[in-house]
Structure 1
Amino acid sequence: MSPLISLIDLAGSIALLLWGTHMVQTGVQRAFGSKLRSILGRALRNRLRAFLAGVGVTALLQSSTATGLMTAGFAAGGLVGLVPALAVMLGANVGTTLIVQVLSFDVVLISPALILLGMVMFRRDSRTQAHDLGRVFIGLGLMLLALHQLLSLMTGYEDSPVLSMVLGAVSASWLLDVFLAALLTWAAHSSVAIVLFIISLAMKGVVPADAAFALVLGANLGTAINPLLEGPRGDDLAAKRLPIGNLIGRILGVAITIGFLGPISYFMAAIEPTSARAVADFHTLFNVAVAAVSLPLLGPYASLLRRWLPENINPADPARPLYLDSAAKETPIVALGAASREALRLADVLEEMLQGVNAGLAKGNRRLLVETRRREDVLDKLNIAIKAYLTSLDPEELNPADHRRLNEILTFTMNIEQAGDVVDRNFLPHASKRLKRGLVFSEEEQKELTAMIERLSVNLKTAASLLVTEDQRTARLLVDEKVAFRDAETKATASHVNRLRNGDLQAAQASSIHLDLLRDIKLINSHIVAAAAYPVLERSGALLPSRVT
């Protein structure tokens, strides 16, 4: 067989291994993605639980990069401390070793069965979980098949003088091995695939044990590069603490281990004579050892990272909290007051969004709608900052009245943020659709939309004052406003049906979008009412599960 054909066969087998790994990752993400993210979020309370969550989630996803990006998102948003986030990354590095342990055994015989089972499940309804799990089984089968092909290729060329010369030159330098494997892992986005490839080389004796271990160290280093390159972007160094901290930890672990690689090679050969098992065990033991040494030191290490990578504060950033003073946490009543002031800023941002969509609709200006959409990010970031601030307060320092006030502030912020989501995901797309299609509202419809949006703004100001005054009469007046929005929707529905009966297609299309916009406005108002009026009425016993008394 010509060298070119052999190279193509080798590249194709490696590509099949990478694709199988990709199918496992995407299948698990589609089947359990939201649940895994929820599990990971709940576990980020202390370092041990975070470590175990990192192990479990990554063992399923088979991607420490995916786990790292999720955790980096939590950390960048301020929802989790740096210490448990670093613990997750240590767990993620251990989790990637589990599938390597399983696949290092000779289980290629079950490859056809896995692919057949996966195909049967994959051909089911694409909306079912079985469809996504089918991808996982197909991916596992392809990974086993690719490993078998790699071993077959190595069998024919393990005695090749050219291959021996190339790999001999590489194996002569452990640092070169580390660099080469790190580069391959970064390019492949999968340490699992690269370590399995290294196992194939070691199994056929193509590389000696010490060189295989050095290559494994490089794969562990390369897998820490992707979260840094693909994680939070921008100039804020604080958002990059987690991926940088993880990479530094990997570099230190590799540097220390490579200094003792000779004795480690003798030790591994003594306890595990099978080369494939020795490489897999070394991969696991390295990550477990790094985790065992690092976990107790995460506190001072996190403090060091905070000092090296200070938060970049932009005074002009509208999403930057102004009143969430960390020193006020020692006095709960002061901290709750600060959170209340910050929550009122959410109402101001939402009002700017409402004024923006009102102006955009009246003038038919798509640029105003685009600018309004950008403000939704401000709502998200402020909401996250307020929730992180409130949940960081010591529950034991709060009396029952403080707990009630904390929950009211959280209710307000979450509902205002959800109202912003409605503007962003529903109202703005409907408004853009009307402009894109060149539809024109009647004068009556345009006046009605303008009036209802202005009424929303008034209700929003009322809700903001309610957060401060907690006046029961004002709360009742705000709840009564829901009737006006229901009446407007009912009237618009009847008008739309009449246009359909009259056969005026152009007017019917415009009235359809007009009706969609009114429904969006009604939903926004519902969130505004729930943000401030319902907590006040519920506390006074005036709010029943189905109606106001």
Structure 2
Amino acid sequence: MSVIIALIALAGHIALLLWGTRMVQTGIQRAFGPSLRSFLGHTLSNRLKAFAAGMGVTAVLQSSTATGLMATGFAAGGLVDLVPALAVMLGANVGSTLIVQVLSFNVAAASPALILIGVLMFRRVQNPQVHDLGRVFIGIGFMLLALDQLLDVLGEYADTPGFETVLNAISKAPTLSLLLAAALTWAAHSSVAVVLLIMSLASQGLLDPYQAFALTLGANLGTAINPVVEGQSGADLAARRVPIGNLLTRIVGILIALVFLEQITGAMTALDGNGGRMVANFHTGFNLIVALVFMPVLTPFANALVRYMPHRIDESDPGNPRYLDPSAKETPIVALQAAAREVLRLVDILEGMLAGTKKGLNSSDRQALSALRNQDTVLDRLNTAVKYYLTSIDPDELSDADKQRLEEILIFSTGLEHAGDVLDQNVLPHLAKRLRRGLKFSKPAKRELDDLFDRLSANLRTAAALFMSQDERMARMLAEEKVIFRRSEREGTKAHFERLRQGDLASAESSSLHLDLLRDLKQINSHLVAATAYPVLEQQGELLQSRITARS
């Protein structure tokens, strides 16, 4: 019976430790997640900065998995090179050991104060960031409380037969212990919690240093598995280079450490006799040494990962760029042509969205509307890929004409993405509203909307041709289309108000929806004109700075 009570108490305190760790991680991510992601993205220019950034971000987030997923996302999207992304992971591994170092000292007395402060911040303050920081304080308090209670339970039941049986099994099979700790860390999603548990056992003398170090190596293995499992899915192994590279560095380090574990144990025991401190020092030392060994060889290591995990384009995913060849960036004129060709894919997608939206004027198919909204995500992804591809070209390699063309491509790509946003955020919700309320357009209104959709599709094709030709006459022709959309909006507004004056409330709601759509289509057309016609006309000195006539 005593064994059952001990196991329940032990499980409860471990659960509190895991929950406290989880609260710290989620609180920090909610309070500073976007800022930390932005900070990480801006420091990936070289391996040393990347290492320091990975260590700092992970020390704050308390999750090497979260840092790993960020770095993986940057590398998979082509935003950073593989070498600094791998350096981030080496830094993250060291950063995750820092909280262990702090908690290896006797700071349990601060637990009640931390929980009290955290609860006051969590419940009384309306500021979202302070609210989330309150969650962090509560989590740290729970962690300290759980560790203190764990020590009491382990000390009270250390001599029971059940504990002795489990610990003897661990001591006889260090490799099995390593795998057990790896599985537990992977399941708990926290190497910090598992290493703290190992520290508690070691500090009570329930694990000798050799056993504790073997289990700590397992925790290091388990935490490297999470980014591999939770990273970007799909057949393209290139998206998994960073987490797999990190896992390989851990495996190499663990294998070498296992070979010399007895000698390491003797050296660590001579430095510090406290079991908990020995585990913390071993945990930090292991990750530091792995980082020092791999940092100088990251370039050949990254090259090997690229060789054996080549990038394969998934043709079934329209959001994957097809023409943005990284090697073409060495020849800017080729890279610019590749980017222009990729942008024409955005034209095709937007044209398909316009055609589908036109069908949705009379359709009752809600799934078709959802599919159209997914196309906007494709536009966003391609636009982002084009922007980062172009901005990664060395500006010193660009002539003045190249710089101008690069700007034209960026403006057109952004304009297409904005036009897609208007469809996604304005037009499609209006069509969904029509379905929910059972509204029907009058025949004249339906005919007018059909004509404007057709004209908008034609203008989109004209904008694509202008993007490639930069012809001044075509730019004038496209700019003049704004007059037609402006007139349609003005006449639609007058007709809507006239219905209201006549008391025709039955058609007022559909008339209001018709007017909203006219404004949205006018805005989409304005994005197309601003992205193509205006730059050409401005370059030729044919664009007025204001529509207001100058006073004489």
Fold-level similarity (TM above 0.5) = yes
Matched with 1:49 is 49
Moved more, 477-486 or 150-159: 477-486
Deviation at residue 489 of structure 1 after TM alignment? 5.0
Structure of larger gyration radius: 2
Aligned partner letter, 1:269: T
Matched with 1:129 is 129
Q: Secondary structure at the match of 1:441?
A: coil
Matched with 1:112 is 112
The answer to whether structure 1 residue 345 and structure 2 residue 356 are counterparts is no
Aligned partner letter, 1:361: L
Q: Residues 181, 532 of structure 1: CA spacing in aligned structure 2 closer, same or farther, 3 A cutoff?
A: same
Deviation at residue 370 of structure 1 after TM alignment? 3.2
For the 8 Å contact 2:177–2:215, the answer to whether it is kept is: yes
Deviation at residue 108 of structure 1 after TM alignment? 1.6
For the 8 Å contact 2:3–2:160, the answer to whether it is kept is: no
For the 8 Å contact 2:323–2:339, the answer to whether it is kept is: yes
The answer to whether structure 1 residue 254 and structure 2 residue 254 are counterparts is yes
* 1:259-302 per-position Cα deviation (integer Å, ceiling 9, x unaligned): 11111111112222222222111111111111111111111111
* 1:122-168 per-position Cα deviation (integer Å, ceiling 9, x unaligned): 22465632112111111111111111111121121122232022112
| Residues in 1 aligned to 2:336 and 2:104: alpha-carbon distance in whole angstroms | 55
Q: Residues 173, 131 of structure 1: CA spacing in aligned structure 2 closer, same or farther, 3 A cutoff?
A: same
Moved more, 372-381 or 457-466: 372-381
* 1:487-543 per-position Cα deviation (integer Å, ceiling 9, x unaligned): 555665666677778887775554554455445434433433343234335545666
Matched with 1:150 is 150
Matched with 2:226 is 226
For the 8 Å contact 2:185–2:219, the answer to whether it is kept is: yes
For the 8 Å contact 1:17–1:142, the answer to whether it is kept is: yes
The answer to whether structure 1 residue 368 and structure 2 residue 368 are counterparts is yes
The answer to whether structure 1 residue 190 and structure 2 residue 165 are counterparts is no
* 1:79-101 per-position Cα deviation (integer Å, ceiling 9, x unaligned): 22222221111111111111111
Matched with 1:421 is 421
Matched with 1:175 is 175
Unaligned runs of 5+ in 1: none
Matched with 1:291 is 291
Identity of aligned residues (%): 61
Aligned partner letter, 2:4: L
| Residues in 2 aligned to 1:2 and 1:446: alpha-carbon distance in whole angstroms | 79
For the 8 Å contact 2:236–2:314, the answer to whether it is kept is: no
Matched with 2:91 is 91
Q: Secondary structure at the match of 2:324?
A: coil
TM (norm. structure 2) is 0.91
Q: How does 1:139-538 map to 2 (within 5 A)?
A: 139-315=139-315, 317-472=317-472, 474-475=474-475, 478-479=478-479, 481-482=481-482, 484-485=484-485, 488-489=488-489, 507-511=507-511, 513-538=513-538
Root-mean-square deviation (CA, aligned residues, Å) is 2.8
Deviation at residue 452 of structure 1 after TM alignment? 3.1
| Residues in 2 aligned to 1:226 and 1:501: alpha-carbon distance in whole angstroms | 65
Q: Residues 64, 354 of structure 1: CA spacing in aligned structure 2 closer, same or farther, 3 A cutoff?
A: same
* 1:421-465 per-position Cα deviation (integer Å, ceiling 9, x unaligned): 333344333323432443333334433433333333233223222
For the 8 Å contact 1:339–1:386, the answer to whether it is kept is: yes
Unaligned runs of 5+ in 2: none
Deviation at residue 180 of structure 1 after TM alignment? 0.8
For the 8 Å contact 2:313–2:322, the answer to whether it is kept is: no
Q: Residues 348, 175 of structure 1: CA spacing in aligned structure 2 closer, same or farther, 3 A cutoff?
A: same
Q: Residues 497, 388 of structure 1: CA spacing in aligned structure 2 closer, same or farther, 3 A cutoff?
A: same
Q: Secondary structure at the match of 2:198?
A: helix
Q: Residues 166, 392 of structure 1: CA spacing in aligned structure 2 closer, same or farther, 3 A cutoff?
A: same
Matched with 2:60 is 60
Moved more, 76-85 or 421-430: 421-430
Q: Residues 492, 171 of structure 1: CA spacing in aligned structure 2 closer, same or farther, 3 A cutoff?
A: farther
